[in-house]
Amino acid sequence: MRTIYSGLLYLAAPLALLRLWWKGRRQPEYRARIAERFGHVPPAPDGVAVWVHAVSVGETLAAAPLIERLIERHGQGRLWLTTTTPTGSARASAAFGARVRHSYAPYDLPHAVARFLDRVRPRLIVVMETELWPNLFRAASARGIPLVVANARLSPRSLRGYSRLRTFFAGVLADCAWVAAQSEADAQRFRSLGAARVSAIGNLKFDLQVPPAQVAAGQQWRTQLGSGRPVWIAASTHEGEEQAALAAHRKIVEQRPDALLILVPRHPQRFEAVAQLVRNAGFDLVRRSAPSFPRCASGTACAVLLGDSMGEMYAYLAAADVAFVGGSLVPVGGHNVLEPAALSLPVLFGPHMHNFQAARELLLASGAAVEVADGTALAHETLALFGDPARRARMGAAGRAAVDANRGALNRLLTLLDTLSAA
């Protein structure tokens, strides 16, 4: 089965290159550093202590506290961080700079993986969330390099897909030193797939670090954009959700004419298209990237702030009274609802939260969040929260308490990594 898998990957490699070239039409970064995807990276003569793989922005943010602690332990330049997407790469560079070595991860081709491991020579590998790469896992096992799937999650939908090839993936998981699952439910799903070395250590995203400088910046923006205005944020939105948010904002300003929407698309290549959507909807717009920010070019109080920057999500959240988290009104699977909860904001999200099921259930059970079915319900709940400051405060306090009560996964993961490194 592994031979068939590898053969299919080699056959698909030209298609993967064409896909990178095609995606590069809108995001030229996809056409850069292609050799890295085949393991051609600068060698580390002395090797590195840990290789951490995080696919994109969400995984990089989740791994940030872990990476900071590993830098403290092993020193600068002793970690190798890989991502798969240009946005993840940009986030890694912005967050860690020269303190870590960074490249794109190699495709799971046997020769690419071998070349990468020969050049990087990691003593430990940490793969974030659910990246099951058969050839990487086998190569690490053959070389005696402990590989940990950290902050691992496996949704019921993903389990059904993997279970069609259960024997194959049981072998993949057998090459893994440990699966550190987010929850007991995730751990049990990994066990049912064949994992023997698995435990539930908690979700690293609860150990998020709220940057004080961003909070201060967001509070300053709030004052500059109009003190006393009701402000809500639609964060990490995808195609289809901006239209829903703008329609909801139309209903909101009918009752609260001074309301401000902070609209933050998930992917930077969509910033221009979303800006045009705002203009087409007839709203006065200010962009974070505009020289006039935080003032509208027209000199009026803007109805929409477009968050067209990277790495400032906490600043945008700190400027808001209510947070809607995207990827949830469309079937993406949701995004990190713990970030607004950590800032004591009431949280709204749509029905498609299968990638953050445990966080969804926690915030709903604690009274910190409300699930909305569509844009109409989003407008209704946002207006209700604008009109009830006491309820906003209760929900915000409940969310902050839920996040604080579930911290600790980072220390448990570090203890596990120490144990495996010493074995």
**Digit-coded pLDDT (tens) for 293-332:** 988 766 667 999 999 998 899 999 999 999 999 999 999 9
Q: Give me the mean pLDDT over the 43-63 stretch.
A: 91
Could you tell me the two tokens for 371?
Answer: 């699930």
| 8 A C-beta contact, residue 207 and residue 410 | yes
- State the pTM of this model: 0.86
Could you tell me the two tokens for 421?
Answer: 């490194």
Q: Give the per-residue pLDDT at 358.
A: 85
Q: Give me the mean pLDDT over the 44-53 stretch.
A: 95
**Digit-coded pLDDT (tens) for 14-41:** 999 999 999 898 888 999 999 999 999 9
**Digit-coded pLDDT (tens) for 177-190:** 999 999 999 999 99
Element (H or E) spanning 130, and its range?
Answer: none
Q: In terms of C-beta density within 10 A (0-12 exposed, 13-18 middle, 19 or more buried), how is residue 351 classed?
A: middle
Instruction: Give residue limits of the domains in the chain.
Output: 2-208+409-422, 212-405
- Choose, from 59, 242, 339, 381, the residue flagged as catalytic: 59
Q: How confident is the model at residue 213 (pLDDT cuts 50, 70, 90)?
A: very high
CATH architecture of structural domain 2-208+409-422 = 3-Layer(aba) Sandwich (3.40)
Q: Give the per-residue pLDDT at 295.
A: 81
| Residue 245 pLDDT greater than 90, yes or no | yes
| Residue 226 pLDDT greater than 90, yes or no | no
Q: Give the per-residue pLDDT at 299.
A: 60
Q: Give the per-residue pLDDT at 243.
A: 98
The yes-or-no answer to whether 2-208+409-422 and 212-405 have a common fold is yes
- To the query of whether residue 72 is one of the catalytic residues in this protein, the response is no
Percent of the chain at pLDDT above 70? 99
Please provide the DSSP assignment of 30-69 as one string: GGSSGGGGGT-----TT-BSEEEE--SHHHHHHHHHHHHH
CATH architecture of structural domain 212-405 = 3-Layer(aba) Sandwich (3.40)
Q: In terms of C-beta density within 10 A (0-12 exposed, 13-18 middle, 19 or more buried), how is residue 365 classed?
A: exposed
Q: Give the per-residue pLDDT at 298.
A: 62
Q: Give the per-residue pLDDT at 103.
A: 97
Q: Phi/psi of residue 131, each to 5°? A: -120, 95
